[in-house]
Amino acid sequence: MDRIRITGGRKLEGVIPISGAKNAALPLMIASLLTRETLTLENVPDLADVNQLIKILGNHGVDVSVNGRRGSQKEGYSRTVNFTAGEIVDTTAPYELVSKMRASFWVIGPLIARMGEAKVSLPGGCAIGTRPVDLFLEGLAALGAEIDVDNGYVVTRARHGLKGNRFVFPKISVGATHVLMMAASLARGETVLENAAREPEIVNLAECLTLMGAKISGAGTSRIVIEGVDTLSGATCKIIPDRIETGTYAMAVAMAGGDVVLEGARPELLQSALDVIAQTGAEITPLNHGIRVRRNGHGIEPVDVTTEPFPGFPTDLQAQFMGLMTMSKGRSRITETIFENRFMHVQELARLGAHITLAGQTAVVDGVSKLKGAPVMATDLRASVSLVIAGLAAEGETVVNRIYHLDRGFERLEEKLSGCGALVERVSD
């Protein structure tokens, strides 16, 4: 099994290209099930989760072809991929595929909207709390779907098609907003989603669905209105740059020191996080082609944060920020409000010498003057990269095990960091 070995103490200098957003790519890929025509996606990252979803879509009959690099882009980044679901050959998403990645459950929306039926295994994915699918099912039921749960599968039917309706999310859910927006695009009449998620990935999906012929307004606000259409067409859509990857590398620079341009990053996608990073003492400068992050030698200032739905501080940057705060010049408090059980990285950071105590949903981090390298183990996608951030500043060698978590969400992480001077390498048994 692969590991990442980091020798700390090197500043980061150079350019890091920001890949397409995994959290935007997955729903856009799933949207290909809504049309018989080809959906072409640009800026598709090469990630384990993306490749797993390609397998799942293939199971339903989606033909996938990769165009490769375009223009002056580096080989391996910014792939263009064509998805053609001419015929849906199977409306069942089996356990052995869905259990490996939670987002694959989202095929339930397009399948029932287009085919009138779907049988989808209950999902797997990161072990960061229960994350139930109740909101998905309540929303689909509001659109007229008959729903049954049998032997670990959700079986849905809409014999006469879905019908538009008003649905109020009892709590904000990005995944359920994605699914209901896709399903409502082929429903009869108008659907109004209240208390909808506002994340940039929601906007990216809405823009793509609109190019396919959907009638959607209000994406990016808490009220989304969808006027259903009979059919959707093919389209060419571009995936937004990954705001979580952007924030992660910005925190890596803030931790290790240096001067890095995050090429292709869009600051408006994570402004709250950039504001917090700036409070720690890093200098954040928007550029025409990305973001410049610099930190001098004055140390890291402690900052308190609370995770919130967009436009607040993202839960997907909480672990990375905790890694940064382990060497701050004081005490910081990090409160997690989105997912329970998302502090599993605390024990691993402690192996490097971090001082962190937990009090319910809040982690209290007392910064230390130095961390020391040690073997550590990744527990989930975001937790794993927090260990990399800490390792960049730790004395000696840090070895991160179970990096298959990293490969799910960070494209060529060791290559991007080593290109800026970090001593980071992948080691195979």
**Domain check: are 100 and 175 in the same one?**
yes
Return the pLDDT at 71: 40
Return the pLDDT at 119: 96
Give CA–CA dist 29/25, Å, rounded: 6
Q: Is the dihedral of CA 118, 120, 126, 130 positive or negative?
A: positive
Amino acid identity at 148: D
| Confidence tier at 130 by pLDDT (50, 70, 90) | very low
Angle between helices 174-185 and 200-211 (to 10 degrees): 10
**Taking the CA atoms of the chain, what radius of gyration do you get in angstroms?**
21
**Domain check: are 322 and 419 in the same one?**
yes
Return the pLDDT at 380: 82
How confident is the model over 149-202, as pLDDT tens digits? 888 899 999 999 999 999 999 999 999 999 999 999 999 999 999 999 999 999
| Confidence tier at 429 by pLDDT (50, 70, 90) | confident
Mean pLDDT taken over the chain:
93
**Domain check: are 214 and 334 in the same one?**
no
**Domain check: are 265 and 216 in the same one?**
no
Most confident segment among 233-247, 286-300, 394-408: 233-247
Give CA–CA dist 80/68, Å, rounded: 6
Which CATH number goes with the domain that contains 171? 3.65.10.10
**Domain check: are 230 and 299 in the same one?**
no
**Domain check: are 170 and 260 in the same one?**
no
Count of structural domains, the chain = 2
CA atoms within 13 A on the CB side of 231: 6
- Residue at a domain's end among 186, 212, 238: 238
Give CA–CA dist 243/204, Å, rounded: 13
First to last CA, the chain: 6
Q: Are 265 and 68 in contact (CB under 8 A)?
A: no
In this prediction, what percent of the chain has a pLDDT beyond 70?
95
Average pLDDT for residues 260-286, to the nearest whole number? 98
Return the pLDDT at 106: 96
How confident is the model over 223-256, as pLDDT tens digits? 999 999 999 999 999 999 999 999 999 999 999 9
- Residue at a domain's end among 238, 270, 297: 238
Return the pLDDT at 342: 76
Q: Could you give the 3-state DSSP secondary structure of residue 62?
A: coil
**Domain check: are 326 and 422 in the same one?**
yes
From the list 126, 208, 237, 420, the catalytic residue is: 126
**126 assigned to active site:** yes
CB-based burial of residue 82 (10 Å sphere; 0-12 exposed, 13-18 middle, 19+ buried)? middle
**Domain check: are 224 and 304 in the same one?**
no
Does pLDDT of 217 surpass 60?
yes
**Domain check: are 105 and 193 in the same one?**
yes
Give the predicted TM-score (pTM) of the model.
0.94
**Domain check: are 272 and 356 in the same one?**
yes
**Domain check: are 314 and 221 in the same one?**
no
Give CA–CA dist 161/255, Å, rounded: 53
Can you say which residues are annotated as belonging to the binding site for phosphoenolpyruvate? 22-23
- Look up residue 81 and give its DSSP letter: E
Return the pLDDT at 123: 80
How confident is the model over 355-396, as pLDDT tens digits? 999 999 999 999 999 999 999 998 887 788 999 999 999 999
- Residue at a domain's end among 205, 238, 271: 238
Residue among 145, 168, 165 nearest 156 (CA): 145
Return the pLDDT at 77: 67
Q: What residue numbers bound the domain in which 259 lies?
A: 3-18+241-427
Does pLDDT of 412 surpass 80?
yes
Return the pLDDT at 382: 78
Q: Could you give the 3-state DSSP secondary structure of residue 170?
A: coil
How confident is the model over 56-112, as pLDDT tens digits? 999 999 999 998 544 444 445 679 999 999 999 999 999 988 888 888 999 999 999
According to DSSP, the residues that pair with 16 across neighbouring strands are 262
